[in-house]
Amino acid sequence: MAFTFAAFCYMLTLVLCASLIFFVIWHIIAFDELRTDFKNPIDQGNPARARERLKNIERICCLLRKVSGSPPWGSQDPRLSLVVPEYSIHGLFCLMFLCAAEWVTLGLNIPLLFYHLWRYFHRPADGSEVMYDAVSIMNADILNYCQKESWCKLAFYLLSFFYYLYSMVYTLVSF
Amino acid sequence: MSAPAGAPHPHAAAASARIPPRLGAAAAPAGPSPTPHYQNGPAQNQMQFPPGYGLQSQGYVVPSGLYSQGPGKSTPLPLESQYGTDYHSGHYTVPTQNVTLAPGPSTVNMQPGSQQVYGRGPPAPHTVGSTPGSFPGGVASSASHLHTGRPQPYSSFGNHYNSPGIPSASSSIASQGFPLTSGHYAMSTASGAVYPSVSYPSVPAGDPYGQVFTSQSTSVITQFKDNSFPGQNTAVDHPPQQRLSPVGYSASSWAAPGPQSTQDNLTQNHIGSLATAGNTSNAGSSSCAEKQNIQLLKTSPAPPTVSSGSISARTQPPADRATEPVASGTQPPELLLQEGMQYGGYVNNQASSAPTPSSSTSDDEEEEEEDEEAAIDSSSTTSSVSPVPNSFDVLEGGSYPGDTLDPLSSSTTSPAPALSVPQATKPAKPFGYGYPILQPGYQNVGLSSGAQPSNPAYSGFQQFAQQYPGMNQLSSSLSGLSLQHSSQQPESLRPINLTQDRNILPVTPVLAPVPNLNSDLKKLNCNPDSFRCTLTNIPQTQALLNKAKLPLGLLLHPFRDLTQLPVITSSTIVRCRSCRTYINPFVSFIDQRRWKCNLCYRVNDVPEEFMYNPLTRSYGEPHKRPEVQNSTVEFIASSDYMLRPPQPAVYLFVFDVSHNAVEAGYLTIVCQSLLENLDKLPGDSRTRIGFITFDSTVHFYNLQEGLSQPQMLIVSDIDDIFLPTPDSLLVNLHESKELIKDLLSALPNMFTYTRETHSALGPALQAAFKLMSPTGGRVSVFQTQLPSLGAGLLQSREDPNQRSSTKVVQHLGPATDFYKKLALDCSGQQTAVDLLNAAVVCPGDSPGEPWPSLSLAAQPLLKQTTVLLAFLAVLAHMELEDHETCMSKYSAGCIYYYPSFHHTHNPSQAEKLQKDLKRYLTRKIGFEAVMRIRCTKGLSIHTFHGNFFVRSTDLLSLANINPDAGFAVQMSIEENLTDTSLVCFQTALLYTSSKGERRIRVHTLCLPVVSSLADVYAGVDVQAAICLLANMAVDRSISSSLSDARDALVNAVVDSLSAYSQTSSTSQQSALIAPTSLKLFPLYVLALLKQKAFRTGTSTRLDDRVFAMCQMKCQPLVHLMKIIHPNLYRIDKLTDEGAIHVSDRIVPQPPLQKLSAEKLTREGAFLMDAGSIIYIWIGKSCDNNFIKDVLGYPNYASVPQKLTHLPELDTLSSERTRSFLSWLRDNRPLCPILHVIKDESPAKTDFFQHLVEDRTEAAFSYYEFLLHVQQQICK
């Protein structure tokens, strides 16, 4: 029975992992909302509806995006962001496991870390903060990709959640 | 053989024509009941109102008015007042005609009710009497009402409908439902005498209707109506008529009872025919077919050796076949009516769905398995007709399309040597007609196992027979046919050795390939100019598509200017209830009350209103409605489609008036053009207009009516822009016209001495957005330099010295998302921004800094272009500052770019701006548009290209739509299409016209599905594929890098050609083989690689590159192809050979030349049509006569360096050249500039850069490129 740094790490990650899971679930819901749209063209031809839909898309994309430097022109609401917190939390995991010398756990997380880095720096090359770009998100292939990505991450976080739980108990119990 | 086969039904139409009479004959004795529904309709009316026949008939007529016009549009007629409630819309013309004509026919009708007399009598008098009055009246009324201002379409419709071929076509489409009706039509047409006797005791009424159904001209119809009135009056006396009425038209109004009764009849008829007769008889026929197949199977093993025996054996089934219809046809009249009906149904079914067994002449799409089987059988029977005895065996053998293995053996074994010859010549794909596998899929594996190794050619013939049944009737021998056939057929698949065959470019412009559909569907299919698919044969599975390595996508030009467009006004627009597809020519009618959606396969009801056909004014023919006869239609939407009243046309012009802009002098030209075209701006009395100018501040103009002169309001607080007087900045064009004119004439001089060099474009755009947001509309931004103040300011990003490096690509992305956000906002407010950039080269620029402003401008523009709102199409008039082009992207605007614009230094650009402006200001425009693209279940659309905002996965939001906008979409196959033989795509564009009408333009495209790779290759539309690739490459170069995009383009060629060579056998490993359909693919890709958008090297300015990319994204295919691969003609020896006549002018059509310097001779003069620019290149030793006659100069030396006009000389060659030139110009929306280039002029590099087959500093020549591709393939 020892409350080591590793055990602390696992306890912390356990909590944070739960929050990550919520983030991802939120993503999934957001994409689903983007995808579903009324099929009734009468409604869609309606300009008021067009505006509403557009705002909705923008709002969702803004939520998904990383923090934007300055609020864009014409917008009043403060920018929430989910992507950067998620990425940074996951980065924190890796850092902690590195410090705790939990090599196996670190190894499990490294691929996702690299994926996040790649995703972050390989944004669409149009210069702005467009992790999720309102103008391109509705292209079916991009939307599909984002949805799949979210589901995969959800699975990963769920599994890792139980893995952390197990590891925490394991480190606490063993010497 | 030939006699029985050919005789029964040479044509489907003929068959139907023949049989119906019989039906009629059969029916006559039995009694009135068998009459088809429409016949009943009139009769019943008569029953109801014995005294008021005339009125009732009017009532009947009225519905036509209703349908055509839509309720409430026409004023109710006095006569119809009774029915007024139900049919508010009446034809004024109709009543009058009735009155006038009545006497004539009535007299005829007065003759005692002998039916025969009626049958014969009415037609003649009617035609005679009615023609003068009723004809024009009828046509005019229908045209005017239906078309709302477009007479053409309807009249054309009428013609369309009148054409005798149509009925058969429709019947074939609606495989089961309509056969009966078709039969009836035929019947009525076929024999007037018999007809009346059949079921028409009420001769007068029946007669007209019957004829109406025959789908004759509208004039005829009206005549009939006229006749019918009097006739009915007389008919009152007729007991038989009343007797007929029992069906019970209790309701006086047509709408309610008529339809129902008709429905009853319909159900009776159809159920009878379909359910009982149809099923049984169909089953019978199909079973017969199967039997025959079986027989064939049995016999097949023998054939190769004993041909004669097999022939005889097989001939039997066909003979049975042939006799079948005959026997049935001859069924005695004693048949019960029901039976008669059934019989008719049966026959019709056969005739329509399967090319009547006896003859394969009917050309119908086999949509269903049974039909297909039947078709095969029929083809086999037809083959039996052919004089060559062996043909029959061969035909059976034809079911082995797969046996291409040993052509030699086939040739030896096959009895007819002639047939074998073509095959031997084609090692790769010996199919008979292009797509053997297409229909004959069922061509029975069993048979193939029976295995005659030979005759693929025969199979080809089989198909050929199916597809071109008419050919069978030709007396030409089978071998001859097959020869012809084989020579045509492989055309799209004929392998071409690209490295050896140097002259692959055809001398005439490349046309879009025609989908391999049957001729009826071909006729109905959408015009390829509006709607094209990269693969005209859709592969069955995604795996097959992947194997072919070709892009699958659509290219759309939905709002194209059309000369003929059916416009439909109807209170209900018929659409599928689940997928909301609009009814289109490719739906199938299950029976007369139900139709099956061709995209989602849901069965829908046909609404009552749809049963009435406004064109023929007949009832019960939903399949003849214009919606079902035209693949491109426009609906005038009801109020359901708008939740706010349609917006007025609103135009806002935003001018850059900084020093740079004034120096360039664009303002004079723009204002002048505006003044000239002010009255031609599309719009109605509500049209509004406004102006904003900006330099470092933003200026508004108060044009409120009542002011003595325009007020200029300056807002200098550009960080927080506001509207000084929100109400009076956008004013009604008509009320304030004088003020507007004053302003436009004063504006060019107002800023002459400005010292302001800054440009606050961003704030100006914000102001424009605020101004427009209540209504939406079009913002035209004229901008000459990079925005340097306020929000959205941009820095020049291009370093000319780094152009060659790949880093340039980074600048393809937008530098700020200000414009993107603004564009999205604009899109949300239904505002489109058109960006007009004029890049001005200042003469004073020091030579050391060739592009000072350019680099600055380029970078911001780049940002905008890729990322920016596409909503600003700026006519760039100044130097390089065109970066704002991007703004147009998401607001569905358009971008014009005029590099090096200066009103005096570059007059050709100034002229171009002027002409473009004219087009820009006066062309059609649609506001607050949305476009939805639907496709058959199984296909899915995943990426869109063009200027718009994607609002949902299949919905594009377009603030404005203009006729020059093109779109592209990429598709994938998500579910296998194995259970369908056709796929359809439908584009629906909902927009508000400038007249404040909400309209929906619908295009539908239908394509066959194929299961073999060879067929996929056979159907490649290479131009569409190239344009789609160009769009994809633009995306790639933005998201990744330019070099990636270039590699992807090359790989597209390499992959597709290597995939083809793998499928096409192993012959000639060393050669680069391509099917004919793909032969131009490498050439076009090479041309694409040498485009400004994708080429490497230092000679391309960033602005040019970005603009070229924008063009690729938003140009329609026709124009894009000219940009990618210009057309080169030799024009110094124009002749009238092959000339075409265009509006009184003779336009010579010189052959196309290869884009290679080797084609340029010093003795010649060449014209190159490169889309937005036309070059005329004069060789050094060009014929002096040409120079004198066409250019107006005595000799070559005296021709000036800069020549942009051809003088109007009164010589033949000058006339020809000019008519050719103007013909080229008329074919495109934006006027190209003309450059006459002498051989030694410095401008000749511009010309030579378009010669894509030649080697350039950094790019392959065509031959090198082919070698490169070949190397890659061999790797």
pLDDT of residue B1028: 93
Average pLDDT over residues B890-915: 71
Name the residue facing B821 among A39, A73, A141 (closest C-beta).
A73
pLDDT of residue B1067: 56
Contact B640 A42 (CB under 8 A): yes
pLDDT of residue A157: 93
Closest residue in B to A145 (Cα) is B942
- Predicted confidence band of residue B456 (pLDDT cuts 50, 70, 90): very low
DSSP class of B1203: B
B653 vs B305, more confident: B653
Average pLDDT over residues B258-273: 37
Q: Tell me if chain B has a CB within 8 Å of the CB of A4.
A: no
Chain A environment of B950 (Cβ under 8 Å): 135-136, 138-139
Decide: B24 and B197 in contact? Cβ < 8 Å.
yes
Q: What are φ and ψ of residue B597, in 5° steps?
A: -65, 135
Closest residue in A to B775 (Cα) is A47
Name the residue facing B1039 among A50, A125, A134 (closest C-beta).
A125
Most confident of B18-22, B496-500, B559-563: B559-563
pLDDT at B254 exceeding the cut of 60: no
Question: d(Cα B40, Cα B36) in Å, to the nearest integer?
Answer: 6
- Predicted confidence band of residue B1272 (pLDDT cuts 50, 70, 90): confident
pLDDT tens-digit map of B994-1011: 888 888 999 999 999 988
B1049 vs B218, more confident: B1049
pLDDT of residue A151: 93
Average pLDDT over residues B393-400: 33
pLDDT tens-digit map of B795-815: 555 544 444 444 444 444 455
Rounded to two decimals, the pTM is 0.63
pLDDT of residue B796: 57
Closest-CA distance, B457 to chain A, in angstroms, reads 43
Contact A51 B988 (CB under 8 A): no
Chain B environment of A75 (Cβ under 8 Å): 821
**Residue written as token pair 């000369």:** B563
Name the residue facing B813 among A35, A55, A126 (closest C-beta).
A126
CB atoms within 10 A of CB B676: 15
Contact A54 B952 (CB under 8 A): no
Question: Among B774, B878, B793, which residue's Cα sits nearest to residue B835?
Answer: B878
Chain B environment of A127 (Cβ under 8 Å): 813-817, 863, 867
pLDDT at B210 exceeding the cut of 70: no
Average pLDDT over residues B301-314: 35
> Would the CA dihedral through B519, B525, B528, B533 be positive or negative?
negative
Chain A environment of B954 (Cβ under 8 Å): 140
**Residue written as token pair 């693969």:** B535
Min mean pLDDT across B473-477, B651-655, B989-993, B1024-1028 is at B473-477
Question: d(Cα B623, Cα B174) in Å, to the nearest integer?
Answer: 8
Name the E strands within B1037-1159.
Answer: 1073-1075, 1127-1130, 1140-1142, 1145-1147, 1152-1153
Contact B817 A128 (CB under 8 A): yes
- Predicted confidence band of residue B651 (pLDDT cuts 50, 70, 90): confident
Min mean pLDDT across B227-241, B652-666, B938-952 is at B227-241
Chain A environment of B943 (Cβ under 8 Å): 139-141
pLDDT of residue B790: 72
Q: Tell me if chain B has a CB within 8 Å of the CB of A40.
A: yes
Contact A37 B951 (CB under 8 A): yes
Mean residue pLDDT of chain B comes to 62
- Predicted confidence band of residue B1025 (pLDDT cuts 50, 70, 90): very high
Closest residue in B to A56 (Cα) is B951
Closest-CA distance, B592 to chain A, in angstroms, reads 26
pLDDT of residue B1044: 86
B1275 vs B76, more confident: B1275
Question: d(Cα B151, Cα B732) in Å, to the nearest integer?
Answer: 30
pLDDT of residue B310: 34
- Predicted confidence band of residue B831 (pLDDT cuts 50, 70, 90): low
pLDDT of residue B1026: 92
Question: Reduced to 3 states, what is the DSSP secondary structure of residue B1270?
Answer: helix
pLDDT at A158 exceeding the cut of 90: yes
pLDDT at B1016 exceeding the cut of 70: yes
pLDDT of residue B171: 34
Name the residue facing B580 among A41, A47, A74 (closest C-beta).
A41
pLDDT of residue B554: 92
Question: How much of chain B, in percent, has pLDDT values that exceed 90?
Answer: 2
pLDDT tens-digit map of B837-858: 544 333 222 222 222 222 223 3
Question: d(Cα B147, Cα B73) in Å, to the nearest integer?
Answer: 12
Question: How much of chain B, in percent, has pLDDT values that exceed 70?
Answer: 51
- Predicted confidence band of residue B914 (pLDDT cuts 50, 70, 90): confident
pLDDT at B1220 exceeding the cut of 80: yes
Query: How big, in percent rounded to 5, are the helix, strand and coil portions of chain A?
Result: 70, 0, 30
Closest-CA distance, B953 to chain A, in angstroms, reads 5
* Strands B874-876 vs B831-838: parallel, antiparallel or unpaired: parallel
pLDDT at A17 exceeding the cut of 60: yes
pLDDT of residue B856: 28
In sequence order, what are the beta bridge partners of B1142? B1145
Contact B828 A46 (CB under 8 A): no
**Residue written as token pair 């097989």:** B314
pLDDT of residue B88: 37
pLDDT of residue B32: 39
Average pLDDT over residues B326-330: 36
Most confident of B179-193, B611-625, B645-659: B645-659
Average pLDDT over residues B455-466: 37
Most confident of A21-35, B227-241, B426-440, B506-520: A21-35
> Which of B948, B949, B960, B961 is the best residue to mutate to test the A interface, defined by the most A CB atoms within 10 Å of its own CB?
B949
Contact A126 B866 (CB under 8 A): yes
* Strands B618-619 vs B612-613: parallel, antiparallel or unpaired: antiparallel
Average pLDDT over residues B1204-1212: 81
pLDDT of residue B495: 76
- Predicted confidence band of residue A161 (pLDDT cuts 50, 70, 90): very high
pLDDT of residue B1202: 77
pLDDT tens-digit map of B106-144: 333 333 333 333 333 333 333 333 333 333 333 333 333
pLDDT at A16 exceeding the cut of 80: yes
pLDDT of residue B1024: 92
- Predicted confidence band of residue B321 (pLDDT cuts 50, 70, 90): very low
Chain A environment of B928 (Cβ under 8 Å): 45, 47, 50
B1209 vs B645, more confident: B1209
R_g over Cα of chain A: 19
Contact B830 A47 (CB under 8 A): yes
pLDDT tens-digit map of B34-43: 333 433 333 3
pLDDT of residue B815: 52
Contact A135 B580 (CB under 8 A): no
Q: Tell me if chain B has a CB within 8 Å of the CB of A69.
A: no
Closest-CA distance, B828 to chain A, in angstroms, reads 5
Chain B environment of A73 (Cβ under 8 Å): 766, 791-792, 818, 821-822
Contact B643 A49 (CB under 8 A): yes
Contact A135 B810 (CB under 8 A): no
pLDDT tens-digit map of A75-113: 334 445 677 788 888 998 888 888 888 888 889 899 999
Contact B825 A74 (CB under 8 A): yes
* Strands B688-694 vs B698-702: parallel, antiparallel or unpaired: antiparallel
pLDDT of residue B1066: 55
